Amino acid sequence: MSEHIEPMYSKVIATLYPVMQRITVREWTGMENIPATGGFVVASNHTSNMDHFPLAHFLVDAGRAPHYLAKSSLFKPPGVKQIMWGTGQIPVYRGTTKATSALSAAEEALERGACVCVYPEGTITREPDFWPMVGKSGAARLALETGVPLIPMAMWGTRDIMWPYKDKLPRIWPPKKVSVSAGPAVDLDDLRGGPVDGKSLRVATDRLMEDITGLLEGIRGAKAPDHRFDPRTEKAARGHGEGRAR
């Protein structure tokens, strides 16, 4: 590892790493795009509650320890609470006056040289065929306000371990193929140094989602829809667990 790892984090890695080695068949690509040192933001698509583990596995294999922006409810259960705080994860207090504190905490982590992970869709995709939805601006804001690289990533295969909105427990046998790909940093050079406003955030977020979608197209060997699904204006997919999309 090229950064300081909290003692609790080292214990979690030592426990979960061999488990992930056993329950997944891994296809890792683009690991050379993960910065060896310094702070950076990782932004990935989100198709399953299982996503956190292969994403962390990939980053640990690349020599970096991920710090997630996670919903505050995960910081409350006994045992889980100690792990979340002890590994330096970052609580997000949705719909409260504390909501902006997550970005401040994430900025501080980036300034310390940490890898901060964000799911820019804000939730598991509701797009009918599991393509990335319209992104939120948090990842772009962090990258523009701190000047760190914004690394797009895509995952596929985690739904076979835990199907979204239906499965409560993972299906760990037989081992499932999980593909994770990291791309080059999103090109934000023309936006850096200027105002971080609605316009620049929209441009940066659109570029990010295009890069994530392109990576996922490569993994799936399929073309994403030309229109990006927006859950704010379109009906969310129902029966999300009825079929297995390619």
pLDDT in tens, 35-60: 999 999 999 999 998 898 888 889 98
The angle subtended at Cα 153 by Cα 101 and Cα 103, nearest 5°, is: 5
* 86, two tokens: 């002890």
Kindly tell me if the per-residue pLDDT of 237 is higher than 60. no
Q: Which amino acid is at 178?
A: V
**Amino acid 170: pLDDT:** 74
Q: What is the mean pLDDT of the chain?
A: 83
Q: For residue range 135-144, what is the model confidence (pLDDT) as tens digits?
A: 999 999 999 9
- 144 against 5, higher pLDDT: 144
Whether the CB-CB separation of 15 and 168 falls below 8 Å is answered with no
**Both ends of the chain: CA-CA distance in Å?**
35
**Amino acid 86: pLDDT:** 62
Q: For residue range 92-144, what is the model confidence (pLDDT) as tens digits?
A: 765 555 555 667 888 888 988 989 999 999 889 999 999 999 999 999 999 99
Dihedral-angle region of residue 134 (phi above 0 means left; psi in -120 to 50 means alpha; beta otherwise)? beta
Strands laid side by side in the 24-29 sheet? 24-29, 176-182, 150-156, 40-44, 115-118, 66-71, 90-92
Q: How confident is the model at residue 2 (pLDDT cuts 50, 70, 90)?
A: very low
Whether the CB-CB separation of 189 and 201 falls below 8 Å is answered with no
- The domain spans of the chain are 7-220
For 7-220, the fitting CATH number among 3.60.120.10, 3.30.200.20, 1.10.1840.10, 3.40.1130.10 is 3.40.1130.10
Most confidently predicted of 2-11, 22-31, 39-48, 160-169: 39-48
User: What is the C-alpha separation between 16 and 5, in angstroms, rounded?
Assistant: 15
Burial of 70 (0-12, 13-18, 19+ CB in 10 A): middle
What is residue 48's DSSP assignment?
-
Kindly tell me if the per-residue pLDDT of 240 is higher than 60. no
Q: For residue range 159-172, what is the model confidence (pLDDT) as tens digits?
A: 887 788 776 677 87
